[in-house]
């Protein structure tokens, strides 16, 4: 590679590949949108939706019999001046989607809803519910102090269920499986 044109072409190729790779990651970035914190008569409620949680490789794995799972993490802190913040809540729950090839249907289990299971024939509808946090009871309002500042953090991971006999080392599309959102932080005063 002593020739300057070859060297330039090679460098240009590397830059274009890196740019295309970064673009592909941006298009498939998994993140939260439409996060809302509100109250009912007794609870602080959380709503939110994961964007870009569905990928063709994941759909192929799901149809091959590998369950898809979103693991959600929710934390609530009371912000204290000149003191460390006080952790009030640390929640972790799963939304698990399985495909039943015989019935050609999708079974979705929502752990935070007392393991409620629903069946769908349309993958898009199942994914919409799987990606949605709809009225999660974070904490009882009686446990919040009025006129205090709070910080709610939320994160989600799309992870494979444990596969038998280390199958995850053999399945070719499993590298696309471990996706996660960044922590999203919302500060509010109650």
Nearest of 121, 119, 112, 100 to residue 156 by alpha carbon: 112
For the chain, percent of residues with pLDDT exceeding 70? 73
SS3 61: helix
Q: Which residues have a Cβ under 8 Å from the Cβ of 181 and sit 6 or more positions away?
A: 30, 31, 32, 50, 155, 156, 157
Instruction: Specify whether the CB–CB gap between 74 and 153 falls below 8 A.
Output: yes
Residues 120, 109: Cα–Cα separation, whole Å: 11
Which distant-in-sequence residues (6+ apart) come within 8 Å of 150 by Cβ?
Answer: 76, 77, 78, 79, 88, 144, 187, 188, 189, 190
pLDDT class for 161, splitting at 50, 70, 90?
Answer: low
Element (H, E) at 76: strand 68-78
Other CB atoms within 10 A of residue 159 CB: 15
- How high is the pLDDT of residue 59? 83
Burial class (CB in 10 A: 0-12, 13-18, 19+), 54: buried
Boundaries of every domain in the chain:
30-189
Fold category of 30-189 in CATH: Immunoglobulin-like (2.60.40)
Q: What integer pLDDT is reported at residue 5 of this predicted model?
A: 44
Q: Fill in the DSSP letter of residue 90.
A: E
Contacts of 119 by beta carbon, 8 Å cutoff, 6+ apart: 105, 106, 107, 108
Q: Tens digit of pLDDT for each residue in 145-154?
A: 999 999 999 9
22 vs 147, more confident:
147
pTM above the 0.85 mark? Answer: no
Residue 19 belongs to what H/E stretch? Answer: helix 4-27
């Amino acid at each position: 590679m002593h020739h300057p044109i070859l060297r330039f072409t090679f460098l240009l190729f590397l830059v274009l590949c890196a740019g295309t790779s970064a673009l592909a990651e941006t298009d498939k970035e998994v993140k939260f949108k439409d996060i809302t914190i509100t109250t009912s008569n007794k609870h602080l409620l959380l709503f939110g939706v994961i964007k870009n949680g569905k990928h063709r490789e994941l759909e192929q794995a799901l149809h091959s019999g590998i369950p898809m799972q979103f693991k959600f993490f929710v934390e609530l802190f009371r912000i204290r001046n000149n003191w460390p913040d006080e952790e009030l809540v640390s929640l972790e729950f799963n939304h698990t989607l399985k495909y039943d090839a015989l019935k050609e249907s999708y079974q979705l289990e929502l752990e935070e809803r007392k393991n409620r299971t629903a069946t769908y024939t349309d993958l898009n509808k199942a994914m919409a519910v799987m990606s949605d946090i709809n009225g999660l009871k974070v904490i009882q309002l009686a446990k919040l102090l009025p006129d205090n500042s709070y910080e709610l953090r939320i994160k989600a991971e799309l992870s494979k269920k444990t596969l038998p006999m280390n199958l995850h080392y053999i399945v070719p599309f499993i590298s696309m499986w471990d996706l996660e959102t960044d922590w999203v932080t919302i500060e509010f005063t109650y």
